[in-house]
Amino acid sequence: MLGGVQYDLAALRYRAGDPGAAVRALDASEQLYAVLVRRTPAAAGPLADVRARRAVVRATQGHGASALVDAQAALLGLRAASDPLGRPDGRDDPGSARVLALCGDVLAAFGDPDLALVASERAVRALLGPAVAPPAGAHPAGTFPTDRPGSPHPGYLARACRVAAVIRQARGPGQADRARRLAAAAAHLGAPPTSTLLEQRISSPLPPDLALGLRGALRVAERRGGDPGTTSSLLQALAAPDTDGAPPGWSTDPTWHGRITAARARPNGPTPAAAGACATMLGRLAGDILSASADPLVGLRLMLEAHCLRAAPAAAACPAALGERADRAQAADPAWAGLLDAASRRIAAVGDPSFALDLASWAERARGGPAHRPVVALDPQGATGTWQALPC
């Protein structure tokens, strides 16, 4: 109950134009659910939801590095928690789909488009379940039920459809038809027409390259002077997500850890401990690219993936770690702090001070400084409405 009160308070604070207070309320909610999740596994769902909400608030502020850590922790929590509905086919329940929709938007805006597409389309499939197969006589065919217990708000489905449509549209003519169908579905759901985080980010000074996944970024890094041995090792460690236009399987994992430690996809694949080694290699390669001024966007992409692997590894290896803070303090690492500072300067130079400030805050933490985050005032007139349009 207390966790829910803090969660609702965060929504009120955010709607009032005070994202800093909203984050603090979500921090308090996270702490309460984290205590509960160690004794009651069913609390893993609300805990993931809190982290996904915080990811959206931070992404709206432009704090991409912090938003990605929250999204990663939320998705890792879903992966490690047992299915509360006990579905034998492993499909996502409406609560998980809500987290997937929110985190897919954050991943598309600041992270990897491959994983964003996996998360968004998993959300679409889960949320379309009650829409396309309602109980006999309960709803007209093709409508979206919102009055049935457990039914989600159509805003989540609209968000997931729009994010998936934008990513697929960016990938060329071969996926244009599917992109149009996703966009049309979103337009006919009756959800408020608020812009997604991805759509806002596209018009920012540092728009994401939605056609370039991690494999492509590694190949670009190799051509731009990155160490060939490092890129080869990373390419071998990766499990490629299914993004060729066919629906990925229900078990597809939209996390960096899932891609690196894909034991289900490859029985002889690396263990969760390999994520740390991959983070080190990604960081080294990102440093090479950023220092050579060859392709700062690719260098930033590799650095952010290393950042997420470093920042939230525990829940990937142990379900009991679900209750750990998503942004817990890490051991001091001056070399990593220097890389974060270099990326922060690059981002500031292209006119994105909020993202640059966020990375500088993480650099301070990597030097052993206090675990604090920047708080940037949000003009209420400029609020995006991404949270306001969704239920709390």
Structure tokens at 171: 């990938």
Q: Share the mean pLDDT of the chain.
A: 78
The pLDDT assigned to 115 comes to 92
Tell me, what DSSP letter sits at residue 105?
Answer: H
**Gap between the Cα atoms of 384 and 2, Å rounded:** 28
- H helices of the chain, in order, are 2-15, 19-37, 44-61, 64-80, 94-110, 113-132, 154-170, 176-187, 197-202, 214-223, 228-237, 256-260, 274-292, 296-311, 314-317, 334-349, 353-366
The pLDDT assigned to 148 comes to 45
**Gap between the Cα atoms of 133 and 154, Å rounded:** 16
Average pLDDT over residues 364-371: 79
Other Cβ atoms within 10 Å of 179 Cβ, number: 20
Q: How far is CA 215 from CA 75, 231, 272, in A?
A: 21, 9, 20
**Gap between the Cα atoms of 240 and 54, Å rounded:** 28
Average pLDDT over residues 24-33: 93
Radius of gyration of the chain measured on its C-alpha atoms: 20
The pLDDT assigned to 53 comes to 95
Residue 370: pLDDT band (50, 70, 90) is: low
The pLDDT assigned to 331 comes to 66
Residues 128-141 pLDDT 10s = 865 544 444 444 44
Q: Name the more confident of 303 and 372.
A: 303
Say what the alpha-carbon torsion angle 246, 266, 320, 119 is, to the nearest 10 degrees.
-10
Residues 63-118 pLDDT 10s = 999 999 999 999 988 876 655 444 444 567 778 899 999 999 999 999 999 999 99
Q: Name the more confident of 375 and 162.
A: 162
Residue 160: pLDDT band (50, 70, 90) is: very high
**Gap between the Cα atoms of 206 and 4, Å rounded:** 36
Among 9-18, 61-70, 190-199, 243-252, which is the least confidently predicted range? 243-252
